[in-house]
Amino acid sequence: MLKTGALTIITILTLLIGLATSSLAGEVKTVEVLKNVYTIVDGEGVDSNTTIITTTEGVIVIDTRPTPTEARKVLKEIRKLTDLPIVYTINTHYHGDHTFGNQVFKNSKTIIAHKNVRDTLIKSGQSHLSLFKTFGLPGMDEVEVTPPNIVYEKGMEIWLGGYRLQLLYHGKGHTNGDTIIFIDQLRTVITGDLVFNKKIPYMADAYIEEWIESLNYIELLKNETVIPGHGPIGGRPTIIAMKHYLIDLKEHVLQQLKGKKSLEETQNAVEPILRKKYKDWKQLDWIKGNIERAWSEYSSKEKA
């Protein structure tokens, strides 16, 4: 119980710190990644990325930002590009900064995600929303938790206007319901929060061992362009950098566990090392919570 409580407090604190930093990031910015593929980066409040794909048969939206207010900005961006209807909305995972704008897109009737995203939002969407309400984001009171209404378990494909999107699930990682979207013909992968670019990842729901496996799997896909869940558009080195961070975290924590170190001792030993190595990444304050997550995961594995 104590461990869970402490983890929750650290989670809240770290998220708050994260918000304080990212809200300074400035205006919503739409980047033309490739022809017909646009990503809104550096969003206000929380900097989760939203990707828009415009096709001759309609629009696909990937992730919906943290509030309806922010989601309406996405809608406005879409209307600058096309008058065609929004056909599919996809959530890469359940976190509020990727799903709390869903209600703005529910007229399209199809909000797609992994089955665990729907289950989690139904089971604990309200408490997740309560947590988000503590961040002081404008427009949070308007949020109605809107779970996806089309779900898959192993994988699915979407065909629209000449594009094929493969929705791939490779087990647990950043959460228990991460979708990897691969667009073969564009050599592009949309990773959700399995990849943060130049930013320390958020790990409160993470399964580090499986996350590393998921990144190995993404590396095997023939991709050149990588659209991460947070941070600027990247390429294959972005995936590798993310994997190296997780492996560094794991290895340093395992070393401490071998010496039977407590959580506090582990944090004191490992945090300065990671802070130094990743000093040019954003959100260094999340490292301490990440060490806690790794310490919990690997100490329970050692006992098993």
- Using CB under 5 A, list all residues that contact Zn ion: 95, 193
Least Å distance, CB 95 to Zn ion, is 4
Q: What is the DSSP letter of 200?
A: P
CA distance 11 to 57: 42
Least Å distance, CB 143 to Zn ion, is 16
CA separation, residue 143 to residues 44, 116, 130, 171, 250 (Å): 16, 20, 10, 29, 36
Residue closer to Zn ion, measured from CB, 199 or 243: 199
Residue type, 88: Y
Residue closer to Zn ion, measured from CB, 95 or 128: 95
Least Å distance, CB 255 to Zn ion, is 28
Radius of gyration of the chain (CA): 19
Of 167, 139, 138, the residue nearest 153 (C-alpha): 167
Residue closer to Zn ion, measured from CB, 176 or 225: 176
Residue closer to Zn ion, measured from CB, 65 or 95: 95
Least Å distance, CB 193 to Zn ion, is 4
Least Å distance, CB 205 to Zn ion, is 8
Let me know: does 39 contact 233? Beta carbons within 8 Å. Answer: yes
Least Å distance, CB 282 to Zn ion, is 15
Cβ atoms within 10 Å, residue 61: 27
User: Could you tell me the maximum CA-CA distance found in the chain, to the nearest angstrom?
Assistant: 61
Residue closer to Zn ion, measured from CB, 73 or 95: 95
Residue closer to Zn ion, measured from CB, 95 or 114: 95
Structure tokens at 167: 């929705």
Of 94, 52, 102, the residue nearest 77 (C-alpha): 52
